[in-house]
């Protein structure tokens, strides 16, 4: 249990998502962690120090100028006497303070004074999350080495609003904390990886698009597995409903051309795992308005053009990663089609699978893959997508070490 005996400093900032911190405390303590809560003034408007203290079974810290807590420069002690600081929820305001080195209350002061790893679980309105100022602050914090979990997409507390901004669920935060505190070997430390995941949506008009049944589960699992082994991972994800993997930088895209540009922008890298089920074709000229049915007329013709081949571009790029892995979703002649793809795309490995509907692989939770290299083919048993990800991360590690 990675959290057993660990000291977690939990910073709760002001937002409706503060209610999730109560369950988070319980989940952390179930796994053997000691939780020391710090509450901002805003947080105390949503949950009470009495409730937080009852669940954490300890003192709740709220005041930078507390005579009792600051007799021994308590904020410095709190900042250092822990294994991990978790900020949940992390508001736009608190992240802005952190990004710009401001320290005007207990939470922001100890976050500036710490030398411990920090995990942020953002929560805010979608417009606030997408605001350029917030995006700049998030980029700064990532560059400074802080780790993010979430935010997730969904309904907001304010009626009628939805989008990206919901705080990650408590168990997602726990998993991210476990990943940061896992004392296991990190053979990919210092290595960089690019992973693509999910489908792409190629617009027909403002309402309709060309897509496929990919869920993104396999790509997201691979990104998480590489991060657990110490790699610095950039995940370029098409439209999915999955939470961002912990410890991973996520770039969200819609179309194949956007995915290609994001991948090229992440080069150079040591590892590229191209898992996304990229649409092969797109509409040459998407309609600016919704295409309407006309009485007595058939559907208008769709003129298609070929999308960029992301795997082939990476496999033959001047800054080609040391290890390039591609996926081949096939419905017939899986091994031969995978072998042709291996040769054409310039990959070191093709992970091929049978995605006919009866297998349940595309969009499902399990996978049955065949690894194809120039040396031959190896069939893996039916596994969960998490297990496939773990094994594949091990294969990649062997190639690099």
Residue 78, domain CATH: 3.40.50.1950
pLDDT of residue 7 exceeding 60, the answer is: yes
**Of 161, 181, 201, the domain-final residue:** 181
242 & 353 share domain: yes
177 & 201 share domain: no
Tokens 């489908």 correspond to what residue? Answer: 199
Q: List the beta strands (DSSP E) in 114-260.
A: 118-122, 147-148, 152-155, 162-166, 192-197, 202-203, 209-210, 232-237, 248-252
Within a domain: 2: no
The partner residues of 85 in beta bridges, in order of sequence, read: 9, 118
Residues flagged as binding site for CTP:
280, 290, 308-311, 327, 341, 345
CA distances from 333 to 245, 339, 353 (A): 33, 10, 10
**Of 181, 203, 224, the domain-final residue:** 181
172 & 199 share domain: no
25 & 154 share domain: yes
Pick the range with the lowest mean pLDDT from 139-148, 181-190, 330-339.
Answer: 181-190
pTM: 0.60
Structure tokens at 238: 């098409």
Within a domain: 20: yes
357 & 387 share domain: yes
- CATH number of residue 260's parent domain: 3.40.50.10300
Within a domain: 337: yes
Mean of the per-residue pLDDT values of the chain:
90
CA distances from 128 to 13, 173, 214 (A): 16, 21, 29
Task: Give the burial class of 185: count Cβ atoms within 10 A of its Cβ; 0-12 exposed, 13-18 middle, 19 or more buried.
Answer: exposed
Contact in structure between 372 and 349 (CB atoms under 8 Å)? yes
Task: Give the burial class of 305: count Cβ atoms within 10 A of its Cβ; 0-12 exposed, 13-18 middle, 19 or more buried.
Answer: exposed
List the Cα angle 268/272/273 in 5-degree steps. Answer: 160
Per-residue pLDDT tens digits for 262-302: 999 999 999 999 999 999 999 999 999 999 988 888 888 99
pLDDT of residue 70 exceeding 60, the answer is: no
124 & 156 share domain: yes
12 & 96 share domain: yes
What DSSP state is assigned to residue 365?
Answer: S
275 & 371 share domain: yes
Structure tokens at 134: 């917030």
Residues flagged as binding site:
280, 290, 308-311, 327, 341, 345
SS3 392: helix
Per-residue pLDDT tens digits for 308-323: 999 999 999 999 999 9
Within a domain: 219: yes
142 & 226 share domain: no
- Residue scoring higher pLDDT (162 or 134): 134
The values of phi and psi at residue 288, to 5°, are -75, -25
Domains in the chain, number: 2
Structure tokens at 366: 């399990």
Rounded Cα distance between 188 and 228, Å, is: 9
Structure tokens at 351: 């992970």
Domain span at 345: 192-291+300-400
Cβ-count burial 217-250 (b if 16+ within 10 Å, e if not): bbbbbbbbbbbbbbbbbbbbbbbbebbbbbbbbb
Q: How many CA atoms lie within 13 A of 149 on its CB side?
A: 25
Determine whether 212 is an active site residue.
yes
Pick the range with the lowest mean pLDDT from 122-126, 153-157, 308-312, 359-363.
Answer: 153-157
Of 100, 125, 131, 212, catalytic? 212
147 & 236 share domain: no
Find out whether the peptide bond into 89 is cis, omega within 30 degrees of 0. yes
Task: Of 145, 244, 248, 238, give the one whose Cα is nearest residue 197.
Answer: 238
pLDDT of residue 153 exceeding 80, the answer is: no
**Of 148, 181, 214, the domain-final residue:** 181
Structure tokens at 200: 């792409």
146 & 281 share domain: no
Contact in structure between 254 and 238 (CB atoms under 8 Å)? yes
256 & 383 share domain: yes
Structure tokens at 23: 């369950």
Report pLDDT for 278: 97
Per-residue pLDDT tens digits for 217-240: 999 999 999 998 889 999 999 999
């Amino acid at each position: 249990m990675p959290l057993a005996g660990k000291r977690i400093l939990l910073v709760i900032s002001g937002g409706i998502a503060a209610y999730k911190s109560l369950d988070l405390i319980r989940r952390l303590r179930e796994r053997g962690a000691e939780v020391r809560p710090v509450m901002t003034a805003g947080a105390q408007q949503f949950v009470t120090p009495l409730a937080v203290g009852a669940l954490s079974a300890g003192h709740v810290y709220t005041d930078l100028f507390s005579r009792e807590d600051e007799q021994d420069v308590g904020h410095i002690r709190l900042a250092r006497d822990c294994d991990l600081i978790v900020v949940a929820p992390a508001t736009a305001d608190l992240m802005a303070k952190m990004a710009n080195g401001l320290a005007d209350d207990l939470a922001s002061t100890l976050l500036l004074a710490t030398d411990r790893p920090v995990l942020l679980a953002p929560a805010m309105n979608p417009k606030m999350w997408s605001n350029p100022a917030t995006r700049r602050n998030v980029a700064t914090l990532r560059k400074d080495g802080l780790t993010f979990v979430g935010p997730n997409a969904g309904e907001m507390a304010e009626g009628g609003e939805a989008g990206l901004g919901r705080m990650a669920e408590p168990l997602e935060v726990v998993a991210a904390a476990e990943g940061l505190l896992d004392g296991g070997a990190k053979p990919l430390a210092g290595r960089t990886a690019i992973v693509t995941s999910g489908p792409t949506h190629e617009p027909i008009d403002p309402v309709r698009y060309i897509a496929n049944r990919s869920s993104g589960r396999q790509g997201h699992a691979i990104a998480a597995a590489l991060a657990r082994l110490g790699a610095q991972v950039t995940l370029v994800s098409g439209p999915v409903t999955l939470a961002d993997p912990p410890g991973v930088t996520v770039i969200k895209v819609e179309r194949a051309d956007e995915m290609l540009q994001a991948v090229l922008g992440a080069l150079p890298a040591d590892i590229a795992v191209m898992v996304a089920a990229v649409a092969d074709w797109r509409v040459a000229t998407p309609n600016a308005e919704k295409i309407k049915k006309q009485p007595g007329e058939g559907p208008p013709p769709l003129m298609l053009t070929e999308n960029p081949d992301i795997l082939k571009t990476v496999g033959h790029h001047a800054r080609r990663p040391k290890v390039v892995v591609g996926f081949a979703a096939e419905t017939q002649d899986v091994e031969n089609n995978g072998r042709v793809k291996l040769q054409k795309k310039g990959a070191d490995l093709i992970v091929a699978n049978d995605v006919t509907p009866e297998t349940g692989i595309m969009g499902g939770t399990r996978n049955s893959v065949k690894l194809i290299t120039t040396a031959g083919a190896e069939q893996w048993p039916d596994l969960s997508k998490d297990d496939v990800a773990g094994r594949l991360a091990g294969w990649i590690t062997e190639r690099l070490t």
